[in-house]
Structure 1
Amino acid sequence: MKRFNRTFVAAPEHIDELGHVNNAVWVQWIQDVATAHWDSVARPKDLESYFWVVTRHEIDYRGNIDEGEAVTGETWIEGAPRGATSVRRVDFRNGDGKIIVSAATTWAMLDRETGRLVRVRAELLEPFA
């Protein structure tokens, strides 16, 4: 699958009492990079018809960054869809290229009109291959 990258910089509001990026911010950045990937690659008709919601996050924290430092989030779709769900991987690399946060997130696809789960057809993910 094609990979998508986005850079994030730790601003003062991202920093917790330990002096580095709060775990809740990492979750937001996971969602931001995955959503940006969908928005940039999906076919217009699919953008109009469907949206995604997270059903599971599995995150490994191996490091962190301080205020003013940047990370590059890299995301891709992992494996074939299962019913209405698809797994997306996200790795965040620090300035040295080391993976400091790694996530596997399960997303469920919903129909915009009905709000119901929809099976993820292979053709829907073709633009990401």
Structure 2
Amino acid sequence: MKLRIPDADILWADVPDTRRHEQTVTVSPADLDDLHHVNNTVYLAWCEDVARAHALRLGMGTEALIGLGAVPVARQHIINYHRPALLGDTVRVRTALTLHAGVRSVRAYALDRLNPGDPAEGVRLAECQTEWVWVDPASGRPKRAPAEVSAAFGFTS
């Protein structure tokens, strides 16, 4: 399946609170590469961090998911970069869970710079989308997400 990144801003406005989360990070020296901007692997780490924080906020952290018998593993990431993030920048990282059915879940992410002087909505740095596949934590085989997960994230069966 080839993923296409939908308009993260529309998604953010249209999804319920249980399907979205955001956090803010400040670019540190450890985030920079040899070109003195945020390394591409850091953007991906920020996306994973906001997804984990979202799950934890809803009581669906890794420990809880193992207890329910299914955990998500990344199948595919797509990142479109628009502008570099630099040392000291404030970056808002948003995620919206956009699809959750059977063994698949899809998250969209928007990363915006929120420095003084930037527009109120921020300056778009990157957009990402990740396809997650639910698996049995013991066998690693694909498995439908438990009903408790669907309910926690506001999806009905």
- Judge same fold: TM > 0.5, yes or no: yes
> Is the contact made by 2:66 and 2:137 (CA closer than 8 Å) also made in structure 1?
no
- Return the structure number with greater strand share: 1
Q: Which runs of 5+ in 1 are unaligned?
A: none
Task: Structure 2: state its 5+ residue gaps.
Answer: 1-14
1:67 & 1:125 partners in 2: Cα distance? 38
Would you say how many aligned residue pairs link Structure 1 and Structure 2? Answer: 128
Aligned to 2:103, which of 81, 84, 90?
Answer: 84
Equivalent residue letter for 1:69:
D
Q: Matched residues in 1 for 2:112 and 2:72: separation?
A: 25
Alignment counterpart, residue 90 of structure 2, candidates 61, 70, 73: 70
Indicate whether 1:115 and 2:152 are aligned. no
Shift of 1:75: 0.5
Question: Displacement, 1:79?
Answer: 2.8
1:29 to 46, 58, 78: 46
Distance 2:124 2:94 in 1: 10
Q: Which residue pairs with 1:38 in the alignment?
A: 55
CA contact (8 A) 1:48 1:112 kept: no
Q: Percent identity over the alignment?
A: 30
Corresponding position of 1:58: 78
Coordinate RMSD, CA, aligned? 2.0
Q: Is 2:118 aligned against 1:93? A: no
Q: Which amino acid aligns with 1:29?
A: W
Cα deviation, 1:38-73, whole Å, max 9, x if unaligned, reads 122145754623322111001110112111212011
**1:70-106 Cα deviation digits (max 9, x unpaired):** 201111111342x311100111111131221111100
Instruction: Give the 3 Å change call, closer, same or farther, for CA 122–89 of structure 1 in structure 2.
Output: farther
Structure of larger gyration radius: 2
